[in-house]
């Protein structure tokens, strides 16, 4: 899993930061998911290595413009990419009406299947590799955060034990790895549990929309390998942040600490702060959560395995 930040500004773009969008690469032939699509997101994609025909799912946190004004253009442009298959779009109630209105008035047509899912809290998507959960956050309008959990993978084969038992390498190794017990040619039974280590836990990434500090933010970030949290304002501006339904960098650090997250990356940073100010903001809250960093546009990072 790899995270790519395509837009990290709050409210409006700056010369160096576009409005919100985050891509999550899943390690399957450059396939990726997109979280929010502020205006200009497709331009950011063009400047990256990501291709729209590899985009499988889009998750919108809420219906404020800096999180979805880039969506109609991105969806339309995707039709021009060869091999663009079906796409699922998840978002709060109202996302379907927004897309339908944009396409109707512009007479846009897609050359692929678009499945729009208006979500409620809970598990919203599952496949063989991942589970996606959503919970409501506290913002000026209805807003969600997402938690992506990678499913566990089988443990490592104990090669020494296999050698002692005389199991020949080949298809039998694969069966044991998949959890199947086997019988060898001489009738000896070998149980998978005897030669395969415990399952390896999958990774967890939590990507939150705009929010003030709340219990659901902690739940989404619980023990996450990476928590992506907004930090619109600097520490000391908590009253202003609360009035606008946002968080300070100290709020984000507090949520990460309470959740037991392993790593915190803050984004959605007000245009009032330049790079030097952002660096100071981060240093000021390392006493709350040391493993914190601020994203910038085109910043990429791997989600480390446990």
Q: Is 246 annotated as contributing to ligand binding?
A: no
Could you give phi then psi for residue 125, rounded to 5 degrees? -160, 140
| Residue ranges of domains in the chain | 2-153+201-302, 159-195
Global pTM reads 0.91
The residues with which 35 forms a beta bridge, in sequence order, are: 22, 59
Q: Is 225 annotated as a binding residue?
A: no
Q: Is 62 annotated as a binding residue?
A: yes
Q: Among 36, 66, 225, 297, which one carries the catalytic annotation? A: 66
- pLDDT, residue 32, reads 97
Taking the alpha carbons of 224, 226, 228, 233 in that order, is the dihedral positive or negative?
positive
- Domain 2-153+201-302: which CATH number of 3.20.20.80, 3.60.15.10, 2.170.190.11, 3.30.1300.10: 3.60.15.10
- Sheet of 144-150, strands arranged across: 122-126, 130-136, 144-150, 204-208, 226-230, 264-267, 292-294
139 a known binding residue?
A: yes
292: β partners: 264
Contact 136, 142 (CB under 8 A): yes
Distance CA 266, CA 264 (A): 6
302 is catalytic: no
pLDDT, residue 91, reads 98
One digit per residue, the tens of pLDDT, for the chain of length 306 reads 999 999 999 999 999 999 999 999 997 778 999 999 999 999 999 999 999 999 999 999 999 999 999 999 999 999 999 999 999 999 999 999 999 999 999 999 999 999 999 999 999 999 989 999 999 999 999 999 999 999 998 888 889 988 888 888 888 888 888 888 998 888 889 999 888 888 888 999 999 999 999 999 999 999 999 999 999 999 999 999 999 999 999 999 999 999 999 999 999 999 999 999 999 999 999 999 999 999 999 999 999 876
DSSP 54: G
């Amino acid at each position: 899993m790899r995270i790519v930040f395509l837009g990290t500004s709050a409210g409006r773009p700056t010369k160096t930061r576009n409005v919100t969008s985050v891509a999550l690469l899943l390690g399957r032939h450059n396939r990726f998911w997109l979280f929010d699509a502020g205006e200009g997101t497709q331009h950011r994609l063009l400047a990256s290595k990501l291709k729209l025909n590899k985009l499988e799912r889009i998750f919108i946190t809420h219906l404020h413009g800096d999180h979805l004004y880039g969506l109609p253009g991105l969806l339309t442009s995707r039709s021009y990419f060869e091999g663009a298959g079906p796409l699922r779009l998840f978002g709060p109630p109202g996302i379907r009406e927004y897309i339908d209105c944009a396409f109707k008035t512009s007479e846009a047509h897609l050359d692929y299947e678009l499945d729009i899912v208006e979500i409620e809290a809970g598990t919203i998507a599952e496949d063989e590799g991942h589970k996606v959960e959503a919970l409501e956050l506290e913002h000026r309008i209805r807003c969600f955060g997402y938690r992506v959990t990678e499913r566990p993978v089988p443990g490592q084969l104990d090669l020494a034990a296999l050698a002692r038992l005389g199991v020949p390498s080949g298809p039998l190794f694969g069966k044991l790895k998949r959890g199947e017990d086997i019988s060898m040619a001489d009738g000896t039974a070998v149980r998978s549990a005897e030669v395969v280590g415990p399952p390896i836990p999958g990774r967890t990434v939590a990507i939150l929309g705009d929010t003030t500090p709340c219990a659901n933010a902690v739940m989404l970030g619980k023990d996450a390998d990476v928590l992506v949290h907004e930090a619109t304002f600097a520490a000391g501006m908590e009253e202003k942040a609360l009035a606008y339904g946002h968080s300070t960098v100290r709020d984000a650090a507090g949520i990460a600490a309470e959740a037991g997250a392993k790593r915190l990356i803050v984004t959605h940073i007000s245009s009032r702060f330049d790079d030097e100010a952002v660096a100071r903001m981060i240093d000021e809250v390392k006493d709350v959560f040391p493993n914190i960093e601020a994203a910038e546009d085109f910043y990429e990072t791997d989600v480390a395995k446990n």
